[in-house]
């Protein structure tokens, strides 16, 4: 429903109260998704599951012209957040273009589990959107490798 | 085993606390600003741009909050807009698709600038991809008759 000009504008205090109340309701909706997902990801990390996933994915990184070790950063970024990802990337001695490439790819696809949950809580299809993000990150990474190979950038 | 579970729960609860601290004031501010003239004008002014990606002006605030603040905090406003019936399923998905590709841009880009990445390339590519993809989907997925009001 659009707000029409004739609509009565409630007083400021009432708007603040109403907003805060809606805030509680909204946060509650989000917490139902966020809390269990966070715990699952944290347990996976504690039991070394993320490391094994990095080993699995390392050969894939060659597709994007990146060293295999960056796979660990992609797993950390994809399942935890970007701060975890750069902690892994920092010691790898990547070229500036490779860092930019990682930045675009991880910028698109990071913190997938939690943000997927949050997207679901808005009523959009969180699963489909998460799949889109992974595919898009791959496409972007591949494009950027092409750009460098053609000498357009990097 | 118990300590690991305890720490996971503790971290999760702290994250929820952070959500509470940020989302509730954000929605209170949103509720105040929603009626302010400048913000309504912003909606009408950005309408032509929004139409390129298949969205109406009711999606302006959720979209911009998401672009700058990120999905977690932007979602608060998206949920609220959906609950008041300002956005239908199609708009929710399109907004979600745009934000999935392009959100929290300032924080994300700065993190990689620290390592020597190129800010302009990172920002430009994500924005271009988001606009391209959302615009394409908006054209393929036509709104059903009556689900979109064209009146401004």
DSSP, residue by residue, B118-142:
-HHHHHHHHHHHHHHHHHHHHHHSP
How do residues B43-54 score in pLDDT, each as one tens digit? Answer: 778 888 888 888
Total domains in chain A come to: 1
How do residues A111-142 score in pLDDT, each as one tens digit? Answer: 898 888 888 888 888 899 999 999 999 999 99
Q: Shortest Cα distance from B25 to chain A (angstroms)?
A: 6
Least confident stretch, A25-39, A85-99, B2-16:
A25-39
d(CA A7, CA A12): 15
Q: Which of B102, B109, B129, B105 is nearest to A100 (CA)?
A: B109
Cβ within 8 Å of residue A38, ≥6 positions away: A114, B8, B11, B12, B15
Average pLDDT of chain A, as a whole number: 85
**Does the distance separating the beta carbons of A121 and B32 come in below 8 Å?**
no
d(CA B75, CA A120): 10
The residue of chain B with its CA nearest to that of A33 is: B16
Q: Determine, yes or no, domain membership for A3.
A: no
CB < 8 Å from B in window 106-145 of A: 106-108, 110, 114-115, 118-119, 121-126, 128-130, 132-133, 136, 140, 144
Is A71 touching B (CB cutoff 8 A)? no
Q: Determine, yes or no, domain membership for A75.
A: yes
Mean pLDDT of B103-128: 88
Residue the block writes with tokens 């943000």: A115
d(CA B56, CA B47): 6
Q: Shortest Cα distance from B143 to chain A (angstroms)?
A: 16
CB < 8 Å from A in window 46-85 of B: 57-58, 71-72, 75-76, 78-80, 82-85
**Does the distance separating the beta carbons of B72 and A115 come in below 8 Å?**
yes
pLDDT of B9 higher than 70 = yes
Mean pLDDT of B2-23: 86
CA terminus-to-terminus distance, chain A: 48
Least confident stretch, A7-11, A77-81, A121-125, B75-79:
A7-11
pTM of the model: 0.79
Q: Give the dihedral of Cα atoms A25, A27, A29, A33; nearest 10 deg.
A: -170
Mean pLDDT of A68-79: 90
d(CA B36, CA A17): 17
Q: Determine, yes or no, domain membership for A113.
A: yes
Res B127: pLDDT:
92
For CA atoms B28, B12, B97, B143, give the dihedral sign.
negative
Domain spans of chain B? 23-140
Q: Residue A27's domain spans which residues?
A: 13-149
Res B150: pLDDT:
44
pLDDT of A25 higher than 70 = yes
pLDDT of B24 higher than 70 = yes
């Amino acid at each position: 429903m659009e707000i029409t000009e004739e609509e009565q504008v409630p007083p400021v205090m009432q708007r603040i109260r109403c907003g805060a109340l809606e805030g509680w309701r909204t946060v509650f909706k989000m917490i139902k998704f966020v809390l269990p997902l966070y715990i699952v990801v944290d347990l996976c990390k504690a039991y070394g599951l993320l490391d094994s996933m990095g080993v699995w994915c390392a050969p894939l990184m060659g597709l994007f012209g990146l060293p295999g070790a960056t796979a660990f950063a992609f797993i950390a970024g994809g399942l935890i957040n970007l701060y975890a990802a750069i902690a892994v990337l920092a010691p790898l001695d990547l070229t500036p273009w490779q860092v930019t490439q990682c930045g675009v790819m991880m910028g698109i696809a990071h913190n997938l589990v939690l943000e997927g949950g949050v997207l679901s809580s808005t009523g959009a299809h969180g699963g489909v959107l998460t799949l889109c993000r992974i595919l898009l990150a791959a496409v972007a990474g591949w494009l950027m490798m092409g750009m460098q190979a053609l000498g357009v950038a990097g | 085993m118990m300590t690991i579970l305890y720490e996971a729960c503790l971290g999760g609860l702290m994250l929820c606390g952070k959500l509470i601290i940020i989302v509730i004031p954000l929605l209170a501010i949103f509720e105040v600003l929603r009626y302010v003239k400048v913000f309504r004008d912003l909606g009408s002014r950005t309408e032509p741009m929004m139409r390129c990606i298949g969205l109406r002006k009711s999606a302006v605030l959720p979209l911009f909050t998401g672009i700058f603040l990120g999905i977690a905090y932007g979602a608060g406003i998206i949920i609220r807009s959906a609950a008041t019936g300002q956005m239908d399923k199609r708009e929710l998905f399109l907004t979600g698709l745009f934000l999935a590709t392009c959100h929290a841009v300032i924080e994300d880009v700065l993190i990689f600038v620290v390592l020597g990445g190129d800010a302009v390339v990172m920002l430009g590519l994500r924005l271009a991809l988001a606009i391209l993809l959302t615009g394409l989907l908006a054209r393929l997925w036509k709104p059903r008759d009556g689900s979109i009001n064209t009146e401004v």
